[in-house]
Amino acid sequence: MVAIWDNFIGPSQKSNRYKNKLLKNMQVKNSKIITLFISFAILFFWGCTKLDTTNLGGDLIPEVDNINTFADTLDIITGSAAFEDSTKLSLTEEYALGKISNDPLMGGTEANLYLQLKPSYYPYYIRKVANDTLVKADSVVLCLSYKAFYGDSSQPIQLQVYQVANDARDRWDSVLSYNTINYAPAVDNDLAISAVKTVDIRAMSNFVKIGKLDSVNNQIRIKLSDRFRDSIFSRDTTRNKGFNSDSLFRLFCNGFAIKALSGNALMYVNLLETQTRLELHYQKRNAGVVDTVYNSFYFNSGLQGETIRRSAVANKIVRTRNALPNADQEIYLQTTPGTYATLEIPSLANYGNKIIHRAEIQVSQIPDPINDKIFTEANYLYLDLLDSTTTPKWKPIYYDLNPNTFYDPDFKTAGYPFFPLNGDVDFSYYGGYIREREMPFGTQSYYNINITRYVQQLVTKQSYNYKMRLFPAHSFSYPQYSTISIPYRNAIAYGRTRIGGGGNSNPAYRMRVRVIYSKIKP
């Protein structure tokens, strides 16, 4: 099922914008939380503990004096693995297109796009006015609304277009179907309907003139072959009735396959914007006057009565990943379709009852000054818990995703969802977003993930010390509870981060847990 919690933020919004917004939200939320703090403290743990923990930000945590307040640094045992992804994209997201051929850290990525562009009604007429006469069919241009890129913009991306085969066995355009990133429809004998198109990402903001008066920028434009042009224009309603219905139209135009041939970057496109279209350019005569015009077909996002089936789309993304390193030393985190780290914190199993003021997992980047400028870090990391060891299942972490709403990761409390309602993670409290700091060796990215309330519950009630999973999520699901896919804040295939493992020999890179607490007097 497609994601219904649509808090996705596309790659066109840069990471510094995320951070500024989060800091601003934090200031607003702090004033609200102070007002509600006393009543919220009473309600929070719904039967788990009455001990107070802070959610007011790091500046209000008591100073560590080793008399009343103490600090511990706990070791983490780390591992890593790659996902077997079955991710599905919603129509409102930005889709990836391109090829990364030379990421020395992570390896290669190829993202191909398959989509249908259709008339907006049936029966359809290219010449909308009855007494128009078609003088000449000029060209047909496939256009995609460009939003952003990831990777090396200095190298051009080469694309080529093919037709999707009309294969009765492959119902890729079934009503309301959403295809996974592992799927691609059959392509018609790999017979190209365009020349190789070279896209210079750096020139995408330049305006290109279309027609007599129009111009456009941030649009990928691929001229299709004369053979395909003639096929489209020959489907006159009064002749072979190719535009009479959706089913007839799909017999000769079942969709387009845009394949990446070379490059070192991914481009991101929006399907629903009007700049994604199929332009039909031609000359017509009316009352003796010849005019050059164009009509457009668009991506249909839903059913329109009984006449038009929703346009199908698929975004097949293939990783040719390099071997993962020893996770005790360093971990490669790659956004979906990607990789994850496993975390175990043995010291929490018998940590003793304390008042936990702050507990956070500290994740530090191992910088690569050259390649990190090209293949930037993931903007957000997500942490969850291993629910079962025999049949691996995962579940959200308790309490800390959003302290202002009730949710039950075990899905056993009547009336409570298993995840914060509407996917509302409070990043100003929970953290997990990228930050930067200056170190003696240069700028280092890092992530702090707040697990204060989870640890408080663990030490107060001696509850189970779960194994954890850390990854730069695009989306995730918990199939033991629901087939709903929960979107996170990373665009598909956007971002990768090399971080230090729990045993890294350099303290500046080592992953660890920092706990600030007060002892409970006997």
pLDDT single digits (tens) 373-397: 999 999 999 999 999 877 889 999 9
> Under a CB-based contact definition with an 8 Å cutoff, are residues 142 and 256 in contact?
yes
Tell me the per-residue pLDDT of 429-464, one tens digit each, with 9 for 90 and over: 999 999 999 999 999 999 999 999 999 999 999 999
Classify residue 25 by its DSSP letter: H
Q: Which residue has the higher pLDDT, 514 or 29?
A: 514
pLDDT on residue 49: 37
Query: Residue written as tokens 């047909």?
Result: 140
**What confidence tier does 303 reach under pLDDT thresholds 50, 70, 90?**
low
**What confidence tier does 53 reach under pLDDT thresholds 50, 70, 90?**
very low
Least confident stretch, 129-133, 249-253, 382-386, 515-519:
129-133
Q: Which residue has the higher pLDDT, 264 or 59?
A: 264
pLDDT on residue 46: 39
- Structural tokens at position 444: 């280092």
Closest CA to 437 of 503, 332, 508: 508
* Average pLDDT, integer, range 224-242: 83
d(C-alpha 494, C-alpha 239), whole Å: 47
pLDDT on residue 240: 60
Instruction: Give this prediction's pTM.
Output: 0.86
pLDDT on residue 293: 86
Query: Residue written as tokens 């956070």?
Result: 360
- Structural tokens at position 246: 């959706």
- What angle is formed at CA 464 by the lines to CA 461 and CA 468, rounded to 5 degrees? 130
**What confidence tier does 290 reach under pLDDT thresholds 50, 70, 90?**
confident
d(C-alpha 484, C-alpha 418), whole Å: 12
Q: Is the peptide bond before 325 cis (omega within 30 degrees of 0)?
A: no
pLDDT at 159 over 60: yes
d(C-alpha 473, C-alpha 8), whole Å: 11
| Three-state secondary structure of 197-252 | EEECHHHCCCCEEECCCEEECCEEEEEECHHHHHHHHCCCCCCCCCCCCHHHHHHH
pLDDT at 189 over 90: no
Find which of 27-31, 172-176, 323-327 is predicted with most confidence, using mean pLDDT. Answer: 323-327
- Structural tokens at position 211: 């027609």
pLDDT at 3 over 50: no
pLDDT on residue 329: 98
Largest CA distance in the chain: 100
Establish how many alpha carbons lie within 13 A of residue 209's alpha carbon, considering only the half-sphere containing its beta carbon: 3
d(C-alpha 475, C-alpha 168), whole Å: 31
pLDDT on residue 175: 57
Query: Residue written as tokens 């700028």?
Result: 443
In percent, the amount of the chain with pLDDT more than 70 equals 84
- Structural tokens at position 272: 């629903």
**What confidence tier does 115 reach under pLDDT thresholds 50, 70, 90?**
very high
* DSSP count for the chain of H helices, then E strands: 5, 28
pLDDT on residue 306: 52
- Structural tokens at position 428: 């100003």
Least confident stretch, 22-36, 280-294, 399-413:
22-36
- Provide the residue count of the chain: 522
Domain ranges of the chain: 15-87+322-519, 107-319
pLDDT on residue 54: 47
pLDDT on residue 521: 78
d(C-alpha 511, C-alpha 10), whole Å: 28
H/E segment holding residue 341: strand 339-344
pLDDT at 361 over 70: yes
Cross-strand partners of 283: 136, 292
Separation in Å, CA 96 to CA 113, 181, 259, 336: 7, 10, 11, 12
d(C-alpha 516, C-alpha 497), whole Å: 27
Closest CA to 517 of 458, 437, 445: 458
**What confidence tier does 15 reach under pLDDT thresholds 50, 70, 90?**
very low
d(C-alpha 507, C-alpha 224), whole Å: 56
* Average pLDDT, integer, range 267-275: 97
Please give the mean pLDDT across all residues of the chain.
86
Separation in Å, CA 332 to CA 112, 196, 359, 472, 507: 24, 34, 24, 10, 18
Contacts of 298 (CB under 8 A, 6+ apart): 117, 118, 120, 274, 276, 277, 278
Contacts of 416 (CB under 8 A, 6+ apart): 406, 407, 408
pLDDT on residue 176: 57
d(C-alpha 454, C-alpha 434), whole Å: 22
pLDDT at 92 over 50: yes
pLDDT on residue 26: 45
**What confidence tier does 24 reach under pLDDT thresholds 50, 70, 90?**
very low
210 exposed, middle or buried (CB, 10 Å; 0-12, 13-18, 19+)? middle
Residue type, 274: T
- Structural tokens at position 218: 């941030």
> Under a CB-based contact definition with an 8 Å cutoff, are residues 122 and 249 in contact?
yes
d(C-alpha 404, C-alpha 425), whole Å: 10
In percent, the amount of the chain with pLDDT more than 90 equals 66
d(C-alpha 116, C-alpha 255), whole Å: 4
pLDDT on residue 44: 40
Cross-strand partners of 146: 269
